[in-house]
Amino acid sequence: MKLRIATAAVMIAAFTVPAFAADEFYVVQDVKTKKCTVVDKKPTDTSMTVVSPSGAVYKSRSEAESSMKTVKVCTSN
């Protein structure tokens, strides 16, 4: 019985965790071109840098795009 409950909990978590991860957006800047964009995954390589204030994570793309207009390094280009 405990094994069935544990298995069910693992299966539920496996299906719900990716859904929550899709609701993360970041304002990033390309290191070479200095162009800012909004991405749905935190950059893992050094070609992009998160430039949103305090590394903020946004819940929607439109929220991140609005914030990008206020980021100094993005508006100075």
CA dist., res. 8 & res. 5, Å (int): 5
pTM of the model: 0.66
Q: Give yes or no for a contact between 55 and 27, defined as CB atoms under 8 angstroms apart.
A: no
| pLDDT tens, residue by residue, 4-38 | 765 655 556 555 555 555 689 999 999 999 999 99
| pLDDT tens, residue by residue, 32-72 | 999 999 999 888 888 999 998 877 889 999 999 998 888 88
Q: Provide the residue type at 74 as one letter.
A: C
The closest alpha carbon to 21, from 44, 45, 41, 48, belongs to 41
